[in-house]
């Protein structure tokens, strides 16, 4: 095992050396940050299911695959190809192909004065002081190997900066396209979003595939919200079923900042969605809202870590899961209330619908409370489509397939209705409608239940 592990990590060492050779002109602080990332990753390697944070998700399939760094070639990609992925009413759309900014495919729109929306690579080339102040300051390399690995390969991604008191009304859309190649490929997109005091913005990170093949997207986004800032972040995962997607959204909230994170997971084969807000200033609010819809052998793991580090903050977590076939969902809702975070008000709800006997959900609340005057509640439900509701709809003339579909849509809408950004919500309503499992009646389901593909747990 030891030798095999070393061999596997050698791939990353080779990639890292090659990467360093072409990143000669990066600033020293970035070089040392990346090196710290790589050292940390080499020390720990990929997590195993013995690690409490990874108990329900086996990443062997990622660890045992020899990925190459994907090239940013955008041959054959045209604006027309990307049309289905553009959100009507977006303020701008930045396109990243295999992790690299593609200016020729992007539409920068018109943004208020002082607002910067562009590529991280460019910001690195300009050695912007904002970057040095914030990049890598928030993610914890010690506890997360994927974040360490991403940090080792920081090169490109999105960079968003809003100066004090600016309001960007239309959503800032970031489209990340994976184009699988002949062999397994990986990208490590790194996004930094800094919104200063009293700003407002909505951001969308949308992960899609063009074509099919083994692809690993390992994403880290740091979102820094100043005092009184109001930010909505949306993460959409709809890559190919052979894709691995591990993402971490780490938000840092100053006094009275209000940040919402909305995740909609539809695609990908093995998906891990980490959301980690730190309420660092008094009176902050955060909403963590998510929907995951799995079918076939998809594995979708949602790991929430909400840190209350200041008094009078509130957090709300709502995650709805719909799991069909042999899919496996995970909801891990961890809340840490630090010693000084008095008057914390934290709530967590996870609701799940299992549409087949073989679908599985693991849901786990984890509350760690070190303050004495707090309100924390959590709840989880697991069930099937409600037979009473189904009969009620059918008794009014609606056929069984449509009735099931309506009930699933209603369940999914609970999540979409919490999105304040109208353009994104409307767009996602359509996306989710097409992404819903074909609500086949029970007999048809039994007929196709025999078809079993491999499960991630069995790999390796």
Residue 22 is a binding residue for another protein (CB under 8 A)? no
177 touches 211 (CB < 8 A): no
In this chain, which stretch among 32-40, 53-61, 308-316, 394-402 interacts with another protein, using CB under 8 A? Answer: 394-402
State which residue, 83 or 388, has the beta carbon closest to another protein: 388
Minimum distance from residue 395 beta carbon to another protein (Å)? 5
State which residue, 142 or 386, has the beta carbon closest to another protein: 386
276 touches 309 (CB < 8 A): no
Task: Kindly tell me which residue out of 389, 425, 445, 459 binds another protein, with binding defined by CB under 8 A.
Answer: 389
Residues near 335 by Cβ (< 8 Å), separated by ≥ 6?
A: 306, 308, 315, 346, 348, 365, 366, 367, 368, 369, 376, 378
State which residue, 110 or 388, has the beta carbon closest to another protein: 388
Distance from C-alpha of 318 to C-alpha of 380, rounded to nearest angstrom: 10
Considering only residues 395 to 424 of the shown chain, the ones binding another protein according to CB under 8 A are: 395-400, 402-403, 406-407, 409-411, 413-414
Minimum distance from residue 405 beta carbon to another protein (Å)? 10
Site string for another protein, 246-265 (x = CB under 8 A): --------------------
Residue 83 is a binding residue for another protein (CB under 8 A)? no
State which residue, 29 or 402, has the beta carbon closest to another protein: 402
Distance from C-alpha of 286 to C-alpha of 258, rounded to nearest angstrom: 6
State which residue, 22 or 396, has the beta carbon closest to another protein: 396
State which residue, 197 or 414, has the beta carbon closest to another protein: 414
In this chain, which stretch among 225-233, 256-264, 381-389, 424-432 interacts with another protein, using CB under 8 A? Answer: 381-389
Residue 143 is a binding residue for another protein (CB under 8 A)? no
Residue 434 is a binding residue for another protein (CB under 8 A)? no
Distance from C-alpha of 429 to C-alpha of 416, rounded to nearest angstrom: 7
Site string for another protein, 318-357 (x = CB under 8 A): ----------------------------------------
Residue 210 is a binding residue for another protein (CB under 8 A)? no
Residue 432 is a binding residue for another protein (CB under 8 A)? no
Residue 392 is a binding residue for another protein (CB under 8 A)? yes
Q: Look up residue 107 and give its DSSP letter.
A: B
CA distances in angstroms from 270 to 12, 57, 291, listed in the order given: 20, 9, 16
Minimum distance from residue 271 beta carbon to another protein (Å)? 25
The site that binds another protein (CB under 8 A) totals a number of residues, namely 22
State which residue, 340 or 399, has the beta carbon closest to another protein: 399
Minimum distance from residue 322 beta carbon to another protein (Å)? 13
Q: If DSSP codes are grouped into helix, strand and coil, which group holds residue 317?
A: strand
Residue 43 is a binding residue for another protein (CB under 8 A)? no
Minimum distance from residue 449 beta carbon to another protein (Å)? 20
Q: What is the DSSP string of 330-383?
A: EEEEEEEE-TT-TT-EEEEEEEEEE-STT-EEEEEEEEEE--SS-EEEEEEEEE
How many CB atoms lie under 10 A from the CB of residue 220? Answer: 28
Minimum distance from residue 409 beta carbon to another protein (Å)? 7
* Residue carrying the six token digits 């295999």: 98
Minimum distance from residue 400 beta carbon to another protein (Å)? 7
Distance from C-alpha of 434 to C-alpha of 301, rounded to nearest angstrom: 22
| Paired tokens of 223 | 């979102």
State which residue, 198 or 414, has the beta carbon closest to another protein: 414
213: number of CA atoms within 13 Å, CB side?
15
> How would you classify the pairing of strands 158-162 and 116-119?
antiparallel
Q: Is 210 exposed, middle or buried (0-12, 13-18, 19+ CB in 10 A)?
A: middle
Residue 425 is a binding residue for another protein (CB under 8 A)? no
Minimum distance from residue 389 beta carbon to another protein (Å)? 5
109 touches 136 (CB < 8 A): no
In this chain, which stretch among 146-154, 201-209, 220-228, 389-397 interacts with another protein, using CB under 8 A? Answer: 389-397
Adjacency order of strands within the sheet including 314-323: 100-101, 92-97, 172-178, 200-209, 230-238, 258-265, 285-294, 314-323, 345-354, 375-383
Minimum distance from residue 260 beta carbon to another protein (Å)? 20
Q: If phi over 0 gives left and psi between -120 and 50 gives alpha, with beta otherwise, what is residue 379?
A: beta
Angle at 247 between CA 243 and CA 253, to 5 degrees: 160
Residue 383 is a binding residue for another protein (CB under 8 A)? no
The binding site for another protein (CB under 8 A) comprises 386, 388-389, 391-400, 402-403, 406-407, 409-411, 413-414
């Amino acid at each position: 095992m030891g030798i095999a592990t070393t061999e596997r990590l050698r791939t990353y060492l080779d990639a890292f050396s090659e990467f360093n050779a072409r990143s000669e002109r990066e600033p020293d602080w970035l070089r040392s940050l990346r090196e710290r990332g790589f050292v940390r990753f080499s020390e720990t390697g990929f997590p195993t299911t013995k690690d409490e944070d990874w108990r329900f998700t086996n990443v062997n399939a990622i660890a045992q695959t020899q990925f190459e760094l994907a090239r940013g070639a955008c041959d054959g990609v045209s604006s027309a190809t990307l049309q289905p992925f553009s959100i009507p009413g977006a303020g701008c759309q930045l396109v990243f192909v295999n992790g690299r900014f593609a200016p020729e495919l992007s539409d920068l729109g018109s943004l208020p004065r002082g607002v910067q929306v562009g590529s991280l690579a460019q910001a690195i080339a300009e050695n912007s002081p904002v970057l040095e102040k914030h990049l890598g300051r928030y993610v914890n390399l010690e506890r997360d190997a994927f974040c360490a690995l991403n940090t080792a390969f920081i090169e490109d991604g999105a960079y968003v900066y809003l100066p004090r008191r600016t309001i960007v009304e239309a959503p800032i859309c970031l489209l990340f396209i994976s184009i699988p190649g002949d062999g397994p490929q990986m990208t490590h997109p790194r996004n930094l979003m800094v919104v200063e005091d009293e700003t407002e913005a909505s951001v969308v990170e949308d992960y899609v595939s063009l074509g099919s093949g083994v692809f690993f997207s390992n994403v880290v986004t740091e979102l820094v919200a100043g005092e009184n800032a109001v930010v909505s972040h949306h993460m959409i995962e709809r890559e190919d079923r052979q894709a691995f997607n591990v993402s971490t959204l780490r938000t840092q909230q100053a006094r009275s900042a209000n940040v919402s994170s909305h995740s909609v997971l539809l695609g990908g084969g093995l998906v891990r969605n980490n959301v980690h807000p730190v309420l660092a200033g008094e009176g902050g609010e955060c909403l963590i809202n998510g929907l995951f819809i799995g079918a076939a052998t998809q594995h979708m793991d949602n790991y929430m870590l909400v840190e209350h580090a200041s008094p009078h903050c509130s957090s709300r977590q709502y995650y709805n899961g719909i799991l069909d076939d042999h899919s496996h969902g995970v909801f891990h809702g961890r809340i840490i209330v630090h010693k000084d975070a008095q008057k914390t008000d934290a709530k967590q709800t996870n609701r799940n619908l299992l549409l087949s006997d073989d679908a599985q959900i693991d849901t786990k609340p984890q509350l760690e409370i070190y303050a004495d005057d707090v309100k924390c509640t959590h709840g989880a439900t697991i069930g099937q489509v409600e037979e009473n509701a189904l009969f009620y709809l059918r008794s009014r003339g609606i056929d069984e397939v449509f009735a099931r579909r309506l009930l699933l849509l209603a369940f999914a809408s609970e999540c979409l209705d919490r999105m304040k950004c109208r353009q994104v919500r409307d767009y996602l309503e359509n996306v989710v409608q097409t992404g819903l499992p074909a609500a086949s009646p029970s007999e048809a389901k039994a007929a196709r239940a025999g078809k079993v593909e491999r499960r991630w747990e069995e790999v390796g």
